[in-house]
Amino acid sequence: MRSGFSWLAWCACALAVSACGVVNAQMPMPSIAAVTLPSDGVYTATPGRNVPRFAIDYTQVVTVNDPWYSKALSDGSGTPTLPIELDGGRIVQARLSGGSITRTLTFEYTIASGDAALHGIALGAALQMNGGTITNGVGDNAIETLSGHGSTAAIVVDAAAGSSSVADTPLLSIRAPMLLACEFAAVAVGARLRWRSRDTAKTMRS
C-alpha cells in the first residue's frame, strides 16, 4: 500500500508540475496595448503647461523591477523612460512618474527652456529600460515596443530661447502708435496756428 501510495503521489505531483509548465508556456508576454497621449496644444516652460503626461497601458498587470525604483521617483534616475523626439532630431526622456503592480504606467517630461517641436513631437519606437525591467506575475519581461498611439502632430513644444514676450518687446514697437498720434496732433496744431496767423495778418492790413 505504501509503495502504491507513493507511486500515485509521485504521478500527481508530476502531472501538477507538467500542468504548471503548460500554463506558463501558454501565458503570453505582456505587451503595450495602448498609449494615452497628453492633450493637444502648445507646451511651454511656463508652470502649469510644462509637463506633458503619457499613460502606457499593458495587456497584463506588470511590475517595475528596479532596485532604484523608490529613488527614481524622486530624482528620475535608473528607471524606464519614454523617448520623445523634438525638432532637429533631439531626443529627450519622459521619466516614469507612477505605477507598479498595475496595468498602467505613467511617464512625464518637464519642458525646459530651449525645447522646441513646432510641428509636433514624435515618440520613440520603444521604452528604454535603463537597467530596470518590467515583468508580469511569472517574471516574463514585457515587450517594450510602443504601439497603438494616435497622432502627435498637434502636441507642440515651444520653449525656444529668445522667443518674444511682452517684457521683451522693443520699446519702439510699443511707442510707435503714441509717436504717430503725437506727430499728427503737432501737425494739426501747426496748421491751426498758421491759419490763425493768416487771419491776423488780413485783419491788420484791412
CATH number at residue 84: 2.60.40
One domain, residues 111 and 67: yes
One domain, residues 174 and 154: no
Domain assignment present for 206: no
Domain assignment present for 67: yes
| Rounded CA separation 142/134 (Å) | 6
Give the least confident one: 4-13, 46-55, 109-118.
4-13
Domain assignment present for 85: yes
One domain, residues 124 and 85: yes
One domain, residues 64 and 104: yes
| Rounded CA separation 189/195 (Å) | 10
One domain, residues 101 and 57: yes
One domain, residues 69 and 143: yes
| Rounded CA separation 173/65 (Å) | 57
- Whether residue 41 is predicted with pLDDT greater than 80 in this model: the reply is yes
- Whether residue 175 is predicted with pLDDT greater than 50 in this model: the reply is no
One domain, residues 137 and 148: yes
Cell of 200: 491776423
CB contact set of 152 (below 8 Å; sequence gap of 6+): 37, 120, 121, 122, 123
One domain, residues 49 and 112: yes
One domain, residues 55 and 152: yes
Q: Beta-strand (E) ranges in the chain? A: 32-36, 41-43, 53-65, 81-85, 91-98, 102-108, 116-117, 122-123, 133-135, 155-158
- Whether residue 161 is predicted with pLDDT greater than 70 in this model: the reply is no
Going by the DSSP 8-state scheme, the letter that residue 126 receives in this structure is B
Residue where the block lists cell 528620475: 76
Q: How many domains does the chain have?
A: 3
One domain, residues 94 and 192: no
Q: Supply the pTM of this predicted model.
A: 0.65
CB of 126 within 8 A of CB of 145?
yes
Q: Go through the chain and tell me how many residues it has.
A: 206
CB contact set of 126 (below 8 Å; sequence gap of 6+): 144, 145, 146
Tell me the helices (H) and strands (E) count for the chain, helix number first.
3, 10
Domain boundary among 141, 158, 175: 158
Domain assignment present for 101: yes
Domain assignment present for 1: yes
Q: Quote the percentage of the chain above a pLDDT of 70.
A: 59
Q: Could you tell me the pLDDT band of residue 131, with boundaries at 50, 70 and 90?
A: confident
Residue bearing the bigger pLDDT, 141 or 174 = 141
Q: Could you tell me the pLDDT band of residue 29, with boundaries at 50, 70 and 90?
A: very high
Domain assignment present for 188: yes
Domain extent at residue 84 = 31-158
One domain, residues 124 and 35: yes
One domain, residues 12 and 65: no
